[in-house]
Amino acid sequence: MGKNNPLDFEEIVHQEAKKVFNLAYRLCGNQEEAKDIAQETFVRAYEHFDRFQGSSRVFTYLYRITFNVWKNRLRHWSRHPVFSLHSTRPEEPDFDLADPKPAPDQAFELDERAGLVRVCLDSLNPASRLIIILRDMEGRSYEEISRIMKCRLGTVKSRLARARTDLREQIRPHLERMRK
């Protein structure tokens, strides 16, 4: 595998592209940025695929690269902030939504809550954000998360519990305001 056989890598890209994009989108909340992160992930993976030892699944390797690419971009953005005259609301992803559609008032409330969760999730540190995304949004097992984050199973469980508590603390004041 690796650079010696680009056809194998092309198959991996086809199999894992959607998962990598979804992770990138959940991390950054912007469709165009997620595409860039996914593309950079596959470029880095291809350049260093000879380092992949096969001791974990390919998507675990790709998720780790995706997380690292995103963290590097966060560092860059914090040093070089960019301001836009356009809306800061993330674009909607290209996902198929189940029918029937909710009523307009329900859709507004769901959109408002999703935006609130997105803002509060964005306020968490990168490792907490990743662990919530992997477990609660993507349904990854504790073992998979352990391999992706390169930490012990008990550490995954304690970090997840702490991340959920932090997220709840971020959301609580907003929900109280919404109820009033």
Reduced 3-state DSSP string for 69-112: HHHHHHHHHHHCCCCCCCCCCCCCCCCCCCCCCCCHHHHHHHHH
The identity of residue 17, as a single letter, is A
Q: 62 by DSSP, 3-state: which?
A: helix
Task: Report whether pLDDT(24) > 80.
Answer: yes
Max distance between CA atoms of the chain, in angstroms, equals: 62
Q: What is the CATH number of domain 102-180?
A: 1.10.10.10
CATH level 3 topology of 1-81: Rna Polymerase Sigma Factor; Chain: A (1.10.1740)
Mean pLDDT of 54-69: 83
Domain limits, the chain: 1-81, 102-180
Instruction: Give me the mean pLDDT over the 120-131 stretch.
Output: 90
Whether 128 and 166 have beta carbons less than 8 Å apart is answered as: yes
- Average pLDDT (101-111) is 60
pLDDT band at 3 (very low <50, low <70, confident <90, very high): very low
